[in-house]
Amino acid sequence: MTRTLRRAGWTPLVLSVLLLVGCTSGSGLIGVPSPGPGGPSGPPPLPSSDAGLADHVPQQIVIGVQPNTDIHRIATSVGGTVTREIKELRSVTVRFPQPTSIVDNIRKLQAMAGVRYAEPNYLYQLFGTPNDPFFSSKQWGPQEIGAPSAWDITKGSPNAVVAVLDSALDGTHPEFSGKVLTGNNCEGGPTTAVAHGTHVAGIAAALGNNGIGIAGVNWNAGILPIQVCNTSGACANSDIACGIIFGATFATLNSVRVVENLSLGGPGYAQQIKDAVDFALQSGVLVIASSGNDGKSTVLFPAGYPGVMAVGASTPANGRATFSTYGPHLSVIAPGVDIYSTIPGASYTLMSGTSMAAPHVAGVAALILALSPGLTPTQVRSQIERTATHLGSSAFDPQFGWGLVNAAAALGALAPNNYGQVQITVQDTLGLVGGADVVLWVGTASCLGLTQEVQTAQTSFGPPPTTAPPLGVASFNAVPVGSYCATASTTTEMGTTAAPLAVAAGTLTTATVTISP
Amino acid sequence: MCSLLPHMRASNVVFLIAGLCLAPAVAGPAAHTGDQGVRIELRLNKPAYTATEPVEIMLMLSNPTSTAATFQFPTGQMFDFLVTRQGKLIWQWSYGRAFTQAFTRLTLSPGESRVFNERWDQRDVQGRYVPAGEYEMLAVFPTDVGLVPRAGADGPQVRFQIVN
């Protein structure tokens, strides 16, 4: 891993004597930035006391002098002892035998003739490397997705929560200290903690830099445990729907942002879960799911629902893991082979699967929300997709989706939202029609010869829940930018939009379909 | 049995009674197959059920060998049960379920058994109670990556009846 050094605790500065060009002799103005706009950055102004200094070695000062200046005399004059001299730079490191004010001594030195600069012996840290002992020896996932660079921007926030919809997890694990929220047991069975849910939670949000174990992708995120699977890893659809709703309601009631991670999947499309996902999106909750482990181009669910981010698994060589399900519905990939993370009993182990990939992305999504809590779920999704490291094709590739999730880039400049919303109103001669099946198709001229189905929904019978569309309206919450046609049908009537609809990023597009026998 | 007793030796009667006492509580149809020397046995609690009566299913994995047997599954799903009638799929246990998407390992030590108990409520995949008739139950052990359990796959299979 390439390491980048930065001054601990300060905003970025130009480093060291090598960059101080054209400094005046003995002026003692080193440390005071040049006046005027647009000047080169330099050392910061001295604070009034040592408390305002960035991390530095105590009782030490670094002095640089002009040519033909007796540097040792200068060091002695302030009561210091030279511990290191770099003749090529005409500088020494001076140590004071007793605690003394670094700032005061610097000011004295700066006033002396022949002194080019005097500064604390600052401490630099490796760029975002946590002190968790297994980070470098056992983990590769956070490093591969650029998490260390991301941590220099944000390490997350307790107000951007990762909800783990899974088996029961071990909330007493030391890596989750202080961050496990009160969740819900939708599955209804014993709350015996097992490896899977604990492992997934650790990948996303294990405490980082706490001197033990691993570093999660998101160090400060709260963990909301929602039990939707039994101890064997079987998860009933109705329990999953319960869990999705709970996470969405939690977000609303507690005024926090929630990212839901579902490291589970099955072949069956369930309308109840689709409706729950739509409810979550309307509540500002992003839903992320594993694409599946069948190694084929198969749509499993919940990954296959349009509003859900489907995450496949990558290898340490940035390839698609052979077991990772892929296809046009894939969003991104993330590390999913031999992932080291938490298990019950304050322990750790390796596990593999798209179960391990999804929480990497959930952790990143929560980092984005920690930085920009006002983003909508589709904006967060777009940000992750648009900033992913492209693999295979230059843009979207069904094997890799938009590419390998890139945590650092995802925290950079906001990319354009890739998604809009569509609402289709269905009516017949009697009025608005609830319960009609609506299909969005890839648009064609005059909406004739439709062959590529994109998304499906049903028109609402009207609220409740309060987030349900009005009577006769079908809502599509995450439609990729493009051109579409819509058809609507009941058992006795059908109709089509007369012309394609253009879906633009971040906007709501509406249309009406009139159905007839 | 009463007509047999006068004609049996006392010792045989003892063995017969002992055998009946030791008969498994789950006394319905049973079948078994094997994998890596492990016996995979499917057993139902009854050969015939009345309408809507729950069908109790037991799948037992037994390792009679002297070495450990390990199976790896691509997900949290370690088995499936399929009910068919005249070759048509009526119900599948995994239907309506999702599974954790991490590779899962099951190890049976020498002499160790593992039992899975499930239940079928006699509803088909549409949620409707099934009619009376002859049915088959197939147990599938999905250890292959990408295997989608389906009728006709290898595994122990039993027949049972639903009566009016």
Q: What is the pLDDT of residues B49-107, one digit of tens each?
A: 999 999 999 999 999 999 999 988 999 999 999 999 999 999 999 999 999 999 999 99
User: What residue in B sits closest to A200 (Cα-Cα)?
Assistant: B102
pLDDT band at A223 (very low <50, low <70, confident <90, very high): very high
What's CA A291's distance to the chain center, in Å? 18
- Asked if the Cβ–Cβ distance from A237 to B104 is below 8 Å, we say no
Contact A159, A256 (CB under 8 A): yes
pLDDT value, residue A45: 72
User: Rounded distance, CA A357 to CA A140, Å?
Assistant: 12
- Asked if the Cβ–Cβ distance from B74 to A353 is below 8 Å, we say yes
Cβ–Cβ contact B71 with A under 8 A: no
pLDDT value, residue B7: 47
Angle, CA of B12, B16 and B20, to the nearest 5°? 170
Q: Which of residues 176-205 of A touch B (CB under 8 A)?
A: 196, 199
Q: With CA atoms as reference, report the closest residue to B35 among B95, B79, B77, B100.
A: B79
Pick the CATH number of B26-163 from 3.40.50.2000, 2.60.40.2360, 3.30.360.10, 3.30.750.24: 2.60.40.2360
Q: Which of A242, A264, A273, A301 to mutate to test the interface with B (most CBs of B within 10 A)?
A: A264
User: Rounded distance, CA A439 to CA A337, Å?
Assistant: 37
pLDDT band at B34 (very low <50, low <70, confident <90, very high): confident
Cβ–Cβ contact B75 with A under 8 A: yes
Q: How many CA atoms lie within 13 A of A12 on its CB side?
A: 6
What's CA B73's distance to the chain center, in Å? 19
- Residue whose pair of structure tokens reads 């119900």 in the numeric block: B91
Closest-CA distance, B150 to chain A, in angstroms, reads: 13
More confident residue, A466 or A386: A386
What's CA A39's distance to the chain center, in Å? 35
The rounded percent of chain A whose pLDDT value lies above 90 is 73
Cβ–Cβ contact B100 with A under 8 A: yes
User: Rounded distance, CA B5 to CA B37, Å?
Assistant: 40
Give the contacts of A350 (CB within 8 A, at least 6 positions apart): A138, A338, A339, A340
Q: What is the pLDDT of residues A232-263, one digit of tens each?
A: 999 999 999 999 999 999 999 999 999 999 99
Contact A285, A380 (CB under 8 A): no
pLDDT value, residue A203: 98
- Asked if the Cβ–Cβ distance from B102 to A356 is below 8 Å, we say yes
pLDDT value, residue A44: 67
**In Å, how far are A239, A293, A385, B164 from B102, measured between CA atoms?**
19, 8, 24, 43
- Asked if the Cβ–Cβ distance from A166 to B97 is below 8 Å, we say no
Q: How confident is the model over A22-36, as a mean pLDDT?
A: 36
Cβ–Cβ contact A235 with B under 8 A: yes
Q: Which of B75, B91, B100 to mutate to test the interface with A (most CBs of A within 10 A)?
A: B100
pLDDT value, residue B23: 45
Closest-CA distance, A330 to chain B, in angstroms, reads: 15
- Amino acid B51 reads A
Decide if pLDDT at A35 tops 90.
Answer: no
Q: Give the start-end residues of each E strand in A71-172.
A: 81-86, 91-95, 115-122, 124-126, 160-166
Contact A217, A197 (CB under 8 A): no
Complete domains list, chain A, with CATH: 5-126 (3.30.70.80), 138-410 (3.40.50.200), 419-514 (2.60.40.10)
Decide if pLDDT at A292 tops 50.
Answer: yes
Q: What is the pLDDT of residues A379-399, one digit of tens each?
A: 999 999 999 999 987 789 999
Closest-CA distance, A474 to chain B, in angstroms, reads: 25
pLDDT value, residue A54: 57
Q: Which of A196, A199, A329, A360 is catalytic?
A: A196
User: Rounded distance, CA B43 to CA A146, Å?
Assistant: 52
Q: What is the pLDDT of residues B21-30, one digit of tens each?
A: 444 455 899 9
| Nearest neighbour of B97 by CB, restricted to A199, A237, A358 | A237
| Nearest neighbour of B98 by CB, restricted to A196, A264, A352 | A264
Q: With CA atoms as reference, report the closest residue to A80 among A49, A102, A64, A48.
A: A102
- Asked if the Cβ–Cβ distance from A355 to B102 is below 8 Å, we say yes
User: Rounded distance, CA A410 to CA A509, Å?
Assistant: 27
User: Rounded distance, CA A306 to CA A36, Å?
Assistant: 54
pLDDT value, residue B148: 43
- A170 as an active site residue: the answer is no
pLDDT value, residue A225: 98
List the structure tokens of B2: 């009463």
pLDDT value, residue B141: 81
| Nearest neighbour of B100 by CB, restricted to A166, A236, A300 | A166
Q: How confident is the model over A502-506, as a mean pLDDT?
A: 92
Cβ–Cβ contact B164 with A under 8 A: no
| Nearest neighbour of A236 by CB, restricted to B96, B100, B145 | B96
List the structure tokens of B105: 């390992």
Q: How confident is the model over A474-486, as a mean pLDDT?
A: 91
| Chain A residues whose beta carbon lies within 8 Å of the beta carbon of residue B101 | 263-265, 290, 292-293, 353-355, 358
Q: How confident is the model over A141-146, as a mean pLDDT?
A: 98
pLDDT band at B18 (very low <50, low <70, confident <90, very high): very low
Three-state SS at A47: coil
Give alpha helix (H) positions in chain B: 10-21
**How many other C-beta atoms lie within 10 A of the C-beta of residue A416?**
11
- Asked if the Cβ–Cβ distance from B101 to A351 is below 8 Å, we say no
DSSP designation for A417: P
Q: What is the pLDDT of residues A183-192, one digit of tens each?
A: 999 999 999 9
Contact A264, B94 (CB under 8 A): no
Classify burial at A52, counting beta carbons within 10 Å of its beta carbon; exposed 0-12, middle 13-18, buried 19 or more: exposed
When computed from its CA atoms, the radius of gyration of chain A, rounded to whole angstroms, is 29
Q: How many CA atoms lie within 13 A of A147 on its CB side?
A: 32
Cβ–Cβ contact A360 with B under 8 A: no
Give the contacts of B115 (CB within 8 A, at least 6 positions apart): B58, B59, B60, B61
| Chain B residues whose beta carbon lies within 8 Å of the beta carbon of residue A358 | 101
Cβ–Cβ contact B101 with A under 8 A: yes
- Residue whose pair of structure tokens reads 């080169």 in the numeric block: A40
**How many other C-beta atoms lie within 10 A of the C-beta of residue B144?**
11
Q: Give the start-end residues of each E strand in A91-203.
A: 91-95, 115-122, 124-126, 160-166, 184-185
- Amino acid B164 reads N
Cis peptide bond upstream of A464, omega within 30: yes
Q: How confident is the model over A464-492, as a mean pLDDT?
A: 88
| Chain B residues whose beta carbon lies within 8 Å of the beta carbon of residue A232 | 76, 78
pLDDT value, residue A4: 39
- A355 as an active site residue: the answer is yes
pLDDT value, residue A508: 93
- What are residue A516's DSSP bridge partners? A494
Cis peptide bond upstream of A335, omega within 30: no
DSSP calls for A2-18: ---EEETTS-----TGG
pLDDT value, residue A129: 84
User: Rounded distance, CA A199 to CA A201, Å?
Assistant: 5
User: Rounded distance, CA A333 to CA A165, Å?
Assistant: 20
pLDDT value, residue A442: 93
| Nearest neighbour of B100 by CB, restricted to A229, A268, A296 | A229
Q: Which of A91, A157, A355, A460 is catalytic?
A: A355
Cβ–Cβ contact A355 with B under 8 A: yes
DSSP designation for B100: E
Q: What is the pLDDT of residues A395-420, one digit of tens each?
A: 899 999 999 999 999 999 998 888 99
Cβ–Cβ contact B95 with A under 8 A: yes
Q: What is the pLDDT of residues A42-99, one digit of tens each?
A: 676 777 777 666 556 777 899 999 999 999 999 999 999 998 888 888 889 998 887 7
Cβ–Cβ contact B104 with A under 8 A: yes
pLDDT value, residue A148: 97
**In Å, how far are A118, A322, A328, A432, A450 from A498, measured between CA atoms?**
76, 44, 27, 18, 12
- Amino acid A477 reads N
**ipTM score of complex:** 0.80
Decide if pLDDT at A130 tops 90.
Answer: yes
pLDDT value, residue A458: 87
| Chain A residues whose beta carbon lies within 8 Å of the beta carbon of residue B144 | none
- Asked if the Cβ–Cβ distance from A229 to B76 is below 8 Å, we say yes
Q: Which of residues 309-348 of A touch B (CB under 8 A)?
A: 323
Pairing of strands A453-458, A501-503: unpaired
Q: How many CA atoms lie within 13 A of B44 on its CB side?
A: 26
User: Rounded distance, CA A140 to CA A404, Å?
Assistant: 14
Closest-CA distance, B91 to chain A, in angstroms, reads: 13
- Asked if the Cβ–Cβ distance from A199 to B95 is below 8 Å, we say no
pLDDT value, residue A293: 96
- What are residue A261's DSSP bridge partners? A164, A288
| Chain A residues whose beta carbon lies within 8 Å of the beta carbon of residue B96 | 236-237, 268, 270
Q: How confident is the model over A487-513, as a mean pLDDT?
A: 94
Cis peptide bond upstream of A302, omega within 30: yes
Cβ–Cβ contact B102 with A under 8 A: yes
Q: How confident is the model over A125-129, as a mean pLDDT?
A: 60
Least confident of A176-185, A463-472, B90-99: A463-472
Query: Within chain B, how many helices (H) and strands (E) appear?
Result: 1, 12
- What are residue A9's DSSP bridge partners? none
List the structure tokens of B108: 């049976």
**In Å, how far are A92, A204, A279 from A130, measured between CA atoms?**
31, 15, 37
Closest-CA distance, A298 to chain B, in angstroms, reads: 10
The residue ranges of every structural domain in chain B are: 26-163
Contact B125, B97 (CB under 8 A): no
Cβ–Cβ contact B148 with A under 8 A: yes
| Chain B residues whose beta carbon lies within 8 Å of the beta carbon of residue A323 | 74, 103, 145
